[in-house]
Amino acid sequence: MQIEKLDYYGRGIAKVNNKVTFIHNALPLEDVDIKILKESKKYNEARVIKYLKKSPDRVDVKCKYYNICGGCNISHLKEKLQEEFKENKIKELSRFIDIKDYNKIEYSNLYNYRNKIVIHIDKDRLGLYKNKSNELVEIDKCLLVNNKINDVIKVLKEVIKNELNLKSATIKLGNITEEVMLILEGVIEDYNMLLNTVDVLIINNKVVTKKDYIISIIGNKKYKISKDSFFQVNPSITEKIYNEIRNNIKKLNSKNVLDLYCGTGTIGIYIADLVDKVIGIEVVSDAIEDARYNKKINNIDNIIFKLGKVEDKIKEIDINIDAIIVDPPRIGLHKKVIEVINKIKPKNIIYISCNPNTLVRDLKLLENAYNIEHIKPYDMFPNTYHVECVCVLNRG
């Protein structure tokens, strides 16, 4: 059977007995034999068992775990085609909302771009979970992460030969500083080899090194990364996104800015020198603690951080806000947040989204009052179907 096109997740689409079938690792115009993995009333899921004709857009995948892990799910697609696939996902939004201007996608290296990985451990085996399962895929390294993280994985593989009761490891790497944090869960008797490898070691929430955080740098700003801090995983794309936000704040001549879902304050701190005041709101207490620390180490005095749910704290804002920056989780904006935004009536909204589906939903709730000036996609996660974007809205 011939593959017609790709779906939202980068799977090939074909018809089997007139039913839509999503086929993993298949590209448009390829002829394939398949095996059905899952059947439902409306669609099937399948995998390829034989390629009768391959697409010229297919490339050999470097990762030896590719067909069993499933993490980097479009690695078989040429780099240029990956970019087009993601650009088209954003252009598809115009079917639902009025977007006047699209920018070309900003991209980074296909490999070694991640500054974080979560590793699962089962006795003397270490690896990643197979997609949509708890089945462990044993690995020696991951091609998506910075090679300094792969060096830690190599040491961990040696350690677990004698330590059979570790359960998981999270490895974080500081941008520019290359400081390494290792967070372990489980029982470990001897961790001296790890102390010689990492800057921060935390075992079952207990810090066993002098420091309990690492430092990351974006542009000319420094940020504290602690155990539970959220930080974007792709340093080069993060800086491009933050520069895009800076450029827009400067162009819009914003004065009082509200930074919603602010996390550790990274965006608000990055643009603080351009405005009179920034107010950041975040629900995670550890993130707010880090944000206040980040404010100090960057010598910023025109930003304040409020702890609490965005949908609750946004009601307390009592100054005239002319720009709102929102960087919500994949589920998008809480409906109450949109209601209050419509009451605050800022001149501009800058929406950073990692999920085009929830972005569309939220923009439709704002479209009566706002026009979309432009939308710019970013390849935050090369070799995967995910796409990040920055959307700038002007009050109509």
CATH number, domain of 48, equals 2.40.50.140
Query: What pLDDT is recorded for position 132?
Result: 75
Please state, in angstroms and as integers, the Cα–Cα distance from residue 85 to each residue in 183, 196, 382, following that order: 35, 43, 11
What is the domain extent for residue 180?
116-217
- Give dist(CA 159, CA 153) in Å, integer: 10
CATH of the domain at 130: 2.40.50.1070
Same domain, 50 and 7: yes
Query: What pLDDT is recorded for position 351?
Result: 98
Listed residues 191, 217, 243: the one ending a domain? 217
Q: Within 10 Å of residue 331's Cβ, how many Cβ atoms?
A: 9
Same domain, 96 and 121: no
Same domain, 242 and 369: yes
Each residue's pLDDT tens digit, 273-324 = 999 999 999 999 999 999 999 999 999 999 999 999 999 999 999 889 999 9
- Give dist(CA 181, CA 212) in Å, integer: 8
DSSP conformation letters of 124-137: TEEEEEPTTS--EE
Contacts by residues 179-186 (CB-CB < 8 Å, ≥ 24 positions apart): 179/214, 179/215, 180/148, 180/149, 180/152, 180/214, 181/213, 181/214, 181/225, 181/227, 182/152, 183/227, 186/121
Same domain, 263 and 328: yes
Same domain, 121 and 44: no
Whether residue 77 is contained in a domain is answered as no
DSSP run (H or E) holding 352? strand 348-353
pTM of the full predicted structure?
0.94
Domain total for the chain?
Answer: 3
- Give dist(CA 338, CA 344) in Å, integer: 10
Beta bridge partners of 128: 137
Same domain, 209 and 249: no
- Contact call for residues 219 and 243 (beta carbons, < 8 A): yes
Whether residue 360 is contained in a domain is answered as yes
- Give dist(CA 92, CA 164) in Å, integer: 49
What is the 8-class DSSP label of residue 214? E
Query: What pLDDT is recorded for position 230?
Result: 86
- Give dist(CA 381, CA 111) in Å, integer: 10
- Give dist(CA 192, CA 314) in Å, integer: 47
Same domain, 120 and 98: no
Same domain, 377 and 350: yes
Rounded to 5°, the CA angle 235-237-238 comes to 60
Whether residue 68 is contained in a domain is answered as no
Cα-to-chain-centroid distance, residue 12: 24
- Give dist(CA 49, CA 47) in Å, integer: 6
211, 212, 247: which is closest to 228 by C-alpha? 212
Same domain, 348 and 302: yes
CATH of the domain at 314: 3.40.50.150
Same domain, 166 and 48: no
Listed residues 161, 192, 217: the one ending a domain? 217
pLDDT tens by residue, the chain, 396 residues: 899 999 999 999 999 988 999 999 999 999 999 999 999 989 999 999 999 999 999 999 999 998 888 788 899 999 999 999 999 999 888 788 888 778 899 998 999 999 999 999 999 999 999 877 889 999 999 999 999 999 999 999 999 999 999 999 999 999 999 999 999 999 999 999 999 999 999 999 999 999 999 999 999 999 999 998 889 999 999 999 999 999 999 999 999 999 999 999 999 999 999 999 999 999 999 999 999 999 999 999 999 999 999 999 999 998 899 999 999 999 999 999 999 999 999 999 999 999 999 999 999 999 999 999 999 999 999 999 999 999 999 998
Query: What pLDDT is recorded for position 396?
Result: 80
Same domain, 209 and 330: no
Whether residue 224 is contained in a domain is answered as no
- Contact call for residues 229 and 286 (beta carbons, < 8 A): yes
Same domain, 313 and 187: no
Query: What pLDDT is recorded for position 176?
Result: 96
Amino acid at site 385: Y
CA-only gyration radius of the chain, Å: 23
Query: What pLDDT is recorded for position 229?
Result: 85
DSSP conformation letters of 71-138: SSTTTTB-HHHHHHHHHHHHHGGGGTS-B--B-PPB---SSS-BSEEEEEEETTEEEEEPTTS--EEE
Whether residue 66 is contained in a domain is answered as no
- Give dist(CA 157, CA 140) in Å, integer: 8
Whether residue 244 is contained in a domain is answered as yes
Whether residue 227 is contained in a domain is answered as no
Whether residue 183 is contained in a domain is answered as yes
- Give dist(CA 298, CA 223) in Å, integer: 8
303-307/277-282 β-pairing? parallel
- Give dist(CA 215, CA 285) in Å, integer: 19
What are 101's two structure tokens?
């201007």
